[in-house]
């Protein structure tokens, strides 16, 4: 069987790598992929991104099914287009992807189905938004309604910051159409975890839990990024929290989407805020797997991902099981010079060690330049290692990361610190 994975990041490298390890798979095409997927056994890059060309390609190659990595093609309706052409593809349709592509839709959906989340209000004009901020004091959170590549959320710790964020989005229109409508929501305190489930429209199969580190610098300081590292499992997701997440979030989301006439098929990612007393609220839904959470999650998956996705496509996920390595997996992102503001491309990457059973280096922003592998984006690599506990996985990941060299390489030295300091603070 041949498969196709759409995307070019670390998440797609990890998904494609895992799919290709299935004995039933002869080849996994990655469109467009990166230098890591180019060099991996069983993976073949295809330099196309436009849906009509992807559809042609999948038909010509007799691809059994396609897996979509990032949110942008899902929000643009790539699943609808493939299905209209009679092709199997795993991901939500455009209407269901609104859970991520419109924060306002996600918030009102949660309100309709009683899914716990922060209180909020929606604004399209600056004056009422400013007035609302006079009544609802900082800390408070301002979110662009649309997709904004990780730049659409401002956690304002002061009134000044909150008012500036409103002006930036609604007056200066700095985020374009994505920020022409905003959600202002209550600030939630607690510890975050990523809760991702495979969904077939009716049933959900939860994946291993994970946590990522969104800030650029050690100690969770500095600007927000796409994620500087992640680990699985997330100790904050105790068995009780896990059961609650399924009962209060994932199941009602699935039945709600069915009721709305947009059944949810795909990876459903709930970003959870878990407070000290175990109360749980949804910060956001994503309609895809997390990046870099996918890398440690996939390192721990022992089951055949191909079979799991086939169950999801057939609507029989209630008969599927996922078996996880009991070890901890931890991934450290190596980012480019200038990330996240202005990542530099073209720096030669040296010292990449060959993969071993207990680690894999997943590529994200990399490209081939002759014989060289060079940086080609903000997050360049994610060194992902397994260990018998967080400390061991972390030691191994950093041992490997320290062998890699490129000009301007940035990485955090403290990935996993929350898991080491013992759960909710």
Within 222-281, which residues bind ligand GLY (CB under 6 A)? 226-227
153 contacts ligand AMP (rule: CB under 6 A): yes
Within 214-233, which residues bind ligand GLY (CB under 6 A)? 226-227
Task: Please choose which of ligand GLY, ligand AMP, none residue 58 contacts, taking the beta carbon within 5 to 8 angstroms, the exact cut-off set by kind.
Answer: none
Within 174-213, which residues bind ligand GLY (CB under 6 A)? 212
Residue of 61, 76, 192, 414 that binds ligand AMP (CB under 6 A): 192
291 contacts ligand GLY (rule: CB under 6 A): yes
List CB contacts of 103: < 8 A, sequence separation 6 or more.
143, 144, 145, 146, 152, 183, 284
Number of residues written out for the chain: 425
Closest to ligand AMP by CB, 63 or 188: 188
Within 273-332, which residues bind ligand AMP (CB under 6 A)? 283-284
Task: Give the residue from 59, 63, 14 showing the smallest Cα distance to 36.
Answer: 14
Residue 5 C-beta: closest distance to ligand AMP, Å: 24
- Count the site residues for ligand AMP by CB under 6 A: 14
Q: Which residue carries 């972390």 as its tokens?
A: 394
Q: How far apart are CA 119 and CA 307, in angstroms?
A: 39
Task: Give the residue from 371, 366, 365, 237 showing the smallest Cα distance to 297.
Answer: 237
List CB contacts of 357: < 8 A, sequence separation 6 or more.
none
Q: How far apart are CA 100 and CA 71, in angstroms?
A: 8
User: Which range of residues in 57-65, 123-131, 140-148, 289-297 is near ligand GLY by CB under 6 A?
Assistant: 289-297
Closest to ligand AMP by CB, 61 or 220: 220
Residue 423 C-beta: closest distance to ligand GLY, Å: 20
Of all residues in the shown chain, the one whose CB is closest to ligand AMP is: 284
Q: What is the SS3 assignment for 230?
A: strand
Task: Please choose which of ligand GLY, ligand AMP, none residue 212 contacts, taking the beta carbon within 5 to 8 angstroms, the exact cut-off set by kind.
Answer: ligand GLY
Residue 279 C-beta: closest distance to ligand AMP, Å: 13
- C-alpha angle 285/286/288, rounded to 5°? 150
Q: How far apart are CA 178 and CA 302, in angstroms?
A: 39
290 contacts ligand GLY (rule: CB under 6 A): yes
Task: Give the residue from 422, 289, 250, 371 showing the smallest Cα distance to 19.
Answer: 289
Report residue 353 as tokens.
């060690």
Task: Please choose which of ligand AMP, ligand GLY, none residue 365 contacts, taking the beta carbon within 5 to 8 angstroms, the exact cut-off set by kind.
Answer: none
Task: Please choose which of ligand GLY, ligand AMP, none residue 192 contacts, taking the beta carbon within 5 to 8 angstroms, the exact cut-off set by kind.
Answer: ligand AMP
Task: Please choose which of ligand GLY, ligand AMP, none residue 1 contacts, taking the beta carbon within 5 to 8 angstroms, the exact cut-off set by kind.
Answer: none
Binding mask 159-188 for ligand AMP (x = CB under 6 A): --------------------------xxxx
Report residue 241 as tokens.
């929290």
Q: Which residues of 147-177 are buried (b: 16+ CB within 10 A; e: fewer)?
A: bbeeebbbbbeeeebbbbbbebbbeeeebee
Binding mask 118-147 for ligand AMP (x = CB under 6 A): x----------------------x-x----
Closest to ligand GLY by CB, 147 or 367: 147
Task: Please choose which of ligand GLY, ligand AMP, none residue 166 contacts, taking the beta carbon within 5 to 8 angstroms, the exact cut-off set by kind.
Answer: none
Q: How far apart are CA 216 and CA 316, in angstroms?
A: 40
Within 206-245, which residues bind ligand AMP (CB under 6 A)? 214
Closest to ligand GLY by CB, 226 or 235: 226
Q: Which residues of 78-97 are buried (b: 16+ CB within 10 A; e: fewer)?
A: bbbbbeeeebbbbbbbbbbb
Task: Please choose which of ligand GLY, ligand AMP, none residue 227 contacts, taking the beta carbon within 5 to 8 angstroms, the exact cut-off set by kind.
Answer: ligand GLY
Residue 234 C-beta: closest distance to ligand GLY, Å: 13
Task: Please choose which of ligand AMP, ligand GLY, none residue 155 contacts, taking the beta carbon within 5 to 8 angstroms, the exact cut-off set by kind.
Answer: ligand AMP
Residues in a beta bridge with 366? 375
Residue of 40, 191, 293, 310 that binds ligand GLY (CB under 6 A): 293
Q: Which residue carries 């979509």 as its tokens?
A: 68
Residue 61: burial class (beta carbons within 10 Å; 0-12, 13-18, 19+): middle
Task: Give the residue from 64, 115, 118 showing the smallest Cα distance to 86.
Answer: 64
Binding region for ligand GLY (CB under 6 A): 212, 226-227, 286, 290-291, 293
Binding region for ligand AMP (CB under 6 A): 118, 141, 143, 153, 155, 185-188, 192, 214, 271, 283-284
């Amino acid at each position: 069987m041949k498969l196709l994975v759409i995307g070019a990041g670390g998440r797609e490298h990890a998904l494609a790598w895992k799919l290709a390890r299935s004995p039933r798979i002869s080849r996994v095409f990655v469109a467009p992929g990166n230098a890591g997927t180019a060099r991996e056994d069983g993976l073949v890059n295809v330099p196309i991104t436009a849906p009509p060309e992807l559809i042609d390609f999948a038909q010509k190659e007799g691809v059994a099914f396609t897996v979509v990595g990032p949110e942008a093609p899902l929000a643009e309706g790539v699943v609808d287009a493939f299905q209209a052409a009679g092709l199997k593809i795993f991901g939500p349709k455009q209407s269901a992807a609104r859970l991520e592509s419109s924060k306002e839709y996600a918030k009102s959906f949660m309100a309709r189905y009683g899914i716990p989340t922060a209180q909020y209000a929606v604004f399209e004009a600056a004056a009422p938004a400013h007035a609302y901020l006079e009544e609802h004091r900082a800390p408070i959170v301002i979110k662009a309604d649309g997709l904004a590549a990780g730049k659409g959320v401002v956690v304002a710790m002061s009134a000044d910051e909150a008012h500036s964020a409103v002006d930036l989005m609604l007056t200066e229109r700095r985020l374009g159409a994505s920020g022409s409508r905003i959600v202002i929501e209550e600030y939630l305190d607690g510890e975050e975890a990523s809760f991702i489930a495979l969904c077939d429209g009716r049933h959900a199969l939860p994946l291993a839990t994970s946590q990522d580190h969104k800030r650029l610098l050690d100690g969770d300081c500095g600007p927000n990024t796409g994620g500087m590292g992640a680990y699985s499992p997330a100790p904050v997701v105790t068995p009780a929290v896990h059961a609650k997440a399924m009962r209060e979030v994932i199941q009602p989301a699935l039945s709600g989407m069915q009721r709305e006439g947009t059944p949810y098929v795909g990876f459903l990612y709930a970003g959870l805020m878990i407070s000290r007393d175990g109360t749980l609220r949804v910060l956001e839904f994503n309609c895809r797997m997390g990046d870099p959470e996918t890398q440690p999650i996939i390192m721990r998956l022992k089951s055949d991902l191909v079979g799991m996705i086939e169950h999801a496509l057939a609507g029989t996920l209630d008969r599927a099981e996922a078996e996880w390595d009991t070890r901890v997996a931890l991934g450290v992102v190596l980012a480019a010079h200038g990330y996240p503001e202005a990542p530099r491309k073209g720096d030669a990457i040296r010292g990449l060690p060959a993969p071993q059973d207990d680690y894999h280096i997943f590529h994200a922003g990399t490209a081939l330049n002759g014989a060289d592998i060079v940086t080609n984006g903000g997050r360049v690599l994610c060194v992902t290692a397994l260990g018998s506990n967080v400390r061991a996985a972390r030691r191994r990941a950093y041992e490997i990361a320290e062998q890699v060299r490129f000009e301007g390489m940035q990485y955090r030295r403290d990935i996993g610190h929350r898991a080491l300091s013992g759960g909710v603070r």
